[in-house]
């Protein structure tokens, strides 16, 4: 009986020791998990701030490109109107401004270095919001339609419109006047604008009447209007997508 009592006491003690060890391990695991979660949330906040800057910059850029295309549309309509006006009422400098604007080829080139790094490194899991994760992952593929439309305009401008203008007009004036078109240059410039000495007077005057009455010119203008309008519609969709992502990021930051 004495032996049995000793064994029972030892067994209870051993079980108690095991329970204490298990509890200690569980507490250690819980503390480690809490610390890891705290570290993950800290990393998440850093990532969110980087993403907010990235997509805010993308939002500003897409808005600029939409504005530039609106300028292209306005100039296209103005040139169509010139076709019906008396030549003596048309200022050549004004004509050159509008010709230079329809020759611009704006494209949306988003910053995605932070997004791509998260996807490629597998760190996207650090973002707790699943919808935000999915939107960042799918954003690049969302741009395909816009990129296709932009490439159509670039091809039209470089391969058909500009060669047509070179053949039917003295384009030096429209190229030189672009450097004085501060309204447009501000939308393109990354840094501060430089002031250039006016060179438009160095370019010989060109008779613009043959250009304005040329039937192909009217066709190019209508093509430019059609493609530019549709491209801006696609841009508005991309803009809404970016705004949605920015809004989700801000809500996560506020948490």
Q: How many domains does the chain have?
A: 1
Phi, psi of 146 (to 5 degrees): -65, -45
Residue matched to tokens 């298990």: 22
User: How confident is the model at residue 164, as a pLDDT?
Assistant: 96
The reply to whether the predicted model has a pTM over 0.75 is yes
Over pLDDT 70: what percentage of the chain? 82
Q: Count CB-CB contacts under 10 A for residue 4.
A: 8
Q: What's the pLDDT tens digit per position in 152-200? A: 999 999 999 999 999 999 888 787 777 777 777 677 666 555 665 556 5
User: How confident is the model at residue 6, as a pLDDT?
Assistant: 59
Compute the mean pLDDT over every residue in the chain, rounded to the nearest whole number.
87
Are 149 and 66 a contacting pair, CB within 8 Å? Answer: no
Are 104 and 226 a contacting pair, CB within 8 Å? Answer: no
Which structure tokens are listed for 122? 């597998």
CA of residue 127 relative to chain centroid, distance: 21
Domain of residue 44, residue span: 2-254
Q: What's the pLDDT tens digit per position in 75-124? A: 999 999 999 999 999 998 899 999 999 999 999 999 999 999 999 999 99
């Amino acid at each position: 009986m004495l032996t049995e009592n000793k064994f029972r006491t030892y067994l209870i003690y051993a079980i108690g020791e095991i329970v204490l060890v298990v509890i200690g391990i569980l507490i250690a695991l819980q503390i480690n998990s809490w610390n890891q979660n705290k570290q993950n949330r800290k990393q998440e906040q850093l990532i969110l701030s980087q993403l907010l800057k990235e997509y805010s910059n993308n939002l500003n850029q897409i808005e600029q490109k939409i504005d530039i295309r609106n300028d292209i549309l306005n100039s296209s309509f103005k040139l169509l109107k010139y076709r019906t006006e008396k030549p003596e009422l048309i200022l050549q400098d004004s004509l050159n401004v509008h010709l230079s604007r329809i020759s611009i080829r704006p494209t949306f080139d988003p910053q995605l270095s932070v997004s791509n790094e998260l996807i490629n490194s597998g760190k996207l899991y650090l973002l707790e919001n699943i919808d935000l994760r999915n939107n960042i992952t799918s954003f690049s593929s969302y741009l395909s339609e816009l990129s296709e439309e932009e490439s159509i305009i670039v091809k039209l401008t470089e391969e058909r419109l500009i060669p047509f203008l070179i053949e039917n007009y003295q384009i030096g004036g429209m190229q030189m006047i672009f450097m004085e078109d501060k309204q447009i240059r501000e939308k393109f410039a990354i840094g501060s604008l430089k002031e250039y000495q006016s060179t438009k007077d160095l370019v010989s005057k060109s008779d613009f009447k043959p250009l304005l009455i040329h039937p192909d010119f009217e066709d190019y203008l209508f093509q430019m209007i059609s493609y530019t309008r549709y491209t801006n519609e696609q841009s508005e969709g991309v803009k809404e997508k970016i705004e949605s992502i920015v809004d989700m990021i801000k809500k996560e930051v506020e948490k």
